Amino acid sequence: MPAIVIVGTQWGDEGKGKVIHNIAQWVRALVRYGGGGNAGHSLELDGQRVVVRLLPSGITTPNVLNMVGPYVVCDPEVLIKELQIANTAGSRVLLDRDAPVVLPLHKQVDAAREMARGNKALGTTKNGIGPCYEDHKARREFRLGDLATETSIRQALERGNLYVDRAREVSAGGLTPMSFAEHINWCLQFGELMEYLGDSRAVVEELLEDGANIAAEGAQGFGLDEDQGTRPYNTASNSTPAGFSKSFGIYRFSSVIGIAKAYVTRVGEGIMPTLMDNEWSRRMQELGQERGSVTGRVRRVGAMDLPYLKFACRRGGVTQLVITKLDLLTGHKIPVCDGYSYKNTGMHVPKFKTLTSEVLESIQPNIIEMDGWTESISHCRRYEELPRQAQAYLRLIESSTGVPIIGVGVGADRDAIIWRDSYPSLSQNP
């Protein structure tokens, strides 16, 4: 049974955590394949909001194996906290020993660069993600396995001149680098991680050979993807299934489930064509608690962007969609972007096959208003129970993207989700 891949289709924060939390009940293992502590996947657990940043969103599901792959840049302090949640819940964890470690110096480099960019800052999460991936590309990454002993820590800090180069960069940026000795002491705190280390690629292969259902969890969303996203305001890893393929060598998936919020949000800098600043967007910001789960920054809100969603589904290989937070649209007309026109020429943008930042900056979104509904939908568990206006909205998303919707989020609780009959049965978990 090939793996299912779950990806964000907008600019992150689509509500992947809750969807994966659901899917965790039907799979034997989950594997997080990209990003780092810049991500924040929110789960609702016994009425409490839990945010996981590195471990997969199945950590609160007993017996599920939660793996962190070799392409995830890991902050060991975050790992220690999340292991406690997993241990309390009775889920199992395996961390790939090759996963790169985000060192304090990486965060310092990120901060120094953002400072130097002034009003041209990229709005990174300052979690050291970009600099850590650079060291991975430079083949001198400090790996989780290097945390084992003082000798291996020292050798890893010296590999490819890692410490010296990065410390020099921090100083040049006007900050005081954390010293070599302090780095060694910092690294020595994480010995307890060693018992969780292993080879996630081998385990994934064994599980697939054994016919198990497994799900691969991406971080962020299509618009932030390293290659396909709106550069330079993107992150440093692949949010698309490419991230899973490049780190696990797996190119066939049973499905790629794209997660899209019923409206769009973006945190940090960068173009968002359907951005709105009106009573509706402020209402969504408030009701949807649209603040970065890691940085606390307010997320900008805009109308559902169908051309961009279609593009993300095509380039991300999305085979099925889950729409989240549909309940938040209750009580209002629904703004939807159904097309772009180019530089006020009225020319339709489907002509453009690549939606780069430059293209998106030259278009005007065409916003239509759809009829909304007033009754609460949070109790609905079958698609047919949704008001006809909600069904019309979902049908428009399906017809515009050409991708079937298999699930709809209707509330914050884990079970406040409608799975449609068409959803391939994952419930038999071999």
Catalytic residues: 13, 41
Of the pair 292, 372, the CB lying nearest ligand IMP is at 292
In the complex, the smallest distance separating the C-beta of residue 344 from ligand IMP, rounded to whole angstroms, is 28
Instruction: Rounding to the nearest 10 degrees, give the CA dihedral for residues 237, 264, 358, 398.
Output: 90
* Partners of 95 in the β-ladder: 68, 197
Of the pair 124, 213, the CB lying nearest ligand IMP is at 124
In the complex, the smallest distance separating the C-beta of residue 310 from ligand IMP, rounded to whole angstroms, is 21
In the complex, the smallest distance separating the C-beta of residue 229 from ligand IMP, rounded to whole angstroms, is 8
Of the pair 145, 288, the CB lying nearest ligand IMP is at 288
Task: Write out the two tokens for 106.
Answer: 């990486």
In the complex, the smallest distance separating the C-beta of residue 209 from ligand IMP, rounded to whole angstroms, is 32
CB 7 within 8 A of CB 224: no
Residue 390: in which H helix or E strand, if any? Answer: helix 388-401
CB 214 within 8 A of CB 22: no
Of the pair 41, 414, the CB lying nearest ligand IMP is at 41
CB 230 within 8 A of CB 125: no
Question: Rounded to an integer, what distance in angstroms lies between the CA atom of residue 296 and that of residue 307?
Answer: 29
DSSP 86-103: HHHHT-EEEEETTPBB--
Task: Write out the two tokens for 194.
Answer: 């060693």
CB 110 within 8 A of CB 130: yes
Q: Is the peptide bond before 232 cis (omega within 30 degrees of 0)?
A: yes
In the complex, the smallest distance separating the C-beta of residue 429 from ligand IMP, rounded to whole angstroms, is 28
Of the pair 213, 230, the CB lying nearest ligand IMP is at 230
* Partners of 302 in the β-ladder: 264, 275
Question: Rounded to an integer, what distance in angstroms lies between the CA atom of residue 154 and that of residue 342?
Answer: 55
Other residues' Cβ atoms within 10 Å of the Cβ of residue 79: 24
CB 328 within 8 A of CB 285: no
Of the pair 94, 109, the CB lying nearest ligand IMP is at 109
Of the pair 129, 326, the CB lying nearest ligand IMP is at 129
Question: Residues interacting with ligand IMP, by CB under 6 A?
Answer: 12-13, 38-40, 122-125, 127, 129-130, 219-220, 224, 233, 235-236, 267-270
In the complex, the smallest distance separating the C-beta of residue 270 from ligand IMP, rounded to whole angstroms, is 6
Closest CA to 68 of 97, 95, 101: 95
Question: Rounded to an integer, what distance in angstroms lies between the CA atom of residue 267 and that of residue 307?
Answer: 20
In the complex, the smallest distance separating the C-beta of residue 60 from ligand IMP, rounded to whole angstroms, is 19
307 SS3 class: helix
